[in-house]
Amino acid sequence: MRIHIFSKSTEHYAPGRITEEAHLLGHSAENLFYKDLVVGITNKVRVLMHGKSLEMPSAVVLRVSGAGLVGPLFAYQRVALINYYSKSIPVMNRETYISWIRLNKLEQHYDMVRSGIPVVPSVSFSSEEVIDWDKLEFPLIAKTSFGSSGQGVFKIENKDELLTKVKEKGISNYLFQKMLTTRQDYRVIVIGGKALPKVMKKTAQEGEFLTNFARGGAVQGVPLNSQMQDLAERTAKVFKADYAGIDIMYDTEGNPYVLEINRGAQFQGFEESTGINVAREIVQYLERQTRLSK
């Protein structure tokens, strides 16, 4: 099996690990960067890399496109790749990236609520004039529409702090949420519709609220319980994701909420804390899909 792995040039761990495990299982893998692509659209989609047409692999992994100025471009290049590759070639997350080219936090919440998945009580505003200050409870959490690894997530203590923060991107680009005070959440990874048997429990540092591994949160592997399994697998199904990380948080009364789905979830902390070889699970999933496509 020959695998194409597309990612940002700044992402190293996941593409490297998938390549490593592919080689150990007797396959070849190429790490390719979105930034090197040229997409031509006439009567068909053509994709060039370094001036040459891409050869057809056995399977494809499309990693996260990223935020910032190039994020939208890479996201649409990702869709071009999906259209370029034959439908007989397994492309991980093909359906989710076609249905949601980019998936922001507000859209996630809409679709989860429609599907009966519990989310943290949230509100968004189109302008400062429509804010009902009497109904906002501080402190609260503000999240930008796009962001990962804790970037774009802020604790807001009062009205003045909120108004100052939203001037950076405009209030319509934020989702405001009730602050859950347990300082812990759980990352579940779902591959091919099945949650892995352990989850990564993330705990914020003392005096902090962000639990993310990339932001210094303490992590440990714990067994997957049936409640988290059900919520994570349902969430992945709603968003048609072959691979995803789903974050679940409990309130002080033990009620679970899905915080978000990440279709390009990083897994370094997950592998280190749970001992599960996520990269190998991905390659083995592609092996199964390749056999089914023949």
Instruction: Domain count for the chain, please give it.
Output: 3
Residue 281 is assigned to a structural domain of this protein: no
Last residue of a domain, one of 66, 101, 136: 101
> What local confidence, expressed as pLDDT, does residue 214 receive?
65
Residue 229 is assigned to a structural domain of this protein: yes
| 170 and 187 part of one domain | no
Residue 157 is assigned to a structural domain of this protein: yes
Residue 275 is assigned to a structural domain of this protein: no
Residue 38 is assigned to a structural domain of this protein: yes
> What local confidence, expressed as pLDDT, does residue 97 receive?
93
Cβ–Cβ < 8 Å for 248, 232: yes
The radius of gyration computed from the CA coordinates of the chain, to the nearest angstrom, equals: 20
Question: At residue 220, what are phi and psi to the nearest 5 degrees?
Answer: -150, 150
What is the model's pTM? 0.91
Residue 268 is assigned to a structural domain of this protein: no
| 150 and 61 part of one domain | no
Length of the chain measured in residues: 294
Residue 283 is assigned to a structural domain of this protein: no
Q: In this structure, which amino acid lies at residue 293?
A: S
> The CATH number of the domain where 222 resides is what?
3.30.470.20
- Could you tell me the residue range of the domain that residue 67 belongs to? 2-101
| 193 and 212 part of one domain | yes
Q: How close are the terminal C-alpha atoms of the chain, in Å?
A: 12
Last residue of a domain, one of 144, 178, 212: 178
Tokens encoding 252: 């002080």
| 54 and 83 part of one domain | yes
Task: Going residue by residue through the chain, which has 294 residues, state the pLDDT in tens, using 9 for 90 and above.
Answer: 999 999 988 888 999 999 999 999 999 999 999 888 888 877 788 888 888 888 899 999 999 776 555 567 788 888 889 988 988 999 999 999 999 998 888 899 999 999 999 999 999 998 888 988 888 899 999 988 776 655 778 889 999 999 998 887 788 888 899 999 888 999 999 999 999 999 999 998 887 777 766 667 789 999 999 999 999 999 999 999 999 999 999 999 999 999 999 999 999 999 999 999 999 999 999 999 999 876
> The CATH number of the domain where 151 resides is what?
3.30.1490
| 92 and 26 part of one domain | yes
Q: Using CA atoms in the order 76, 28, 30, 66, what is the torsion angle rounded to 10 degrees?
A: 50
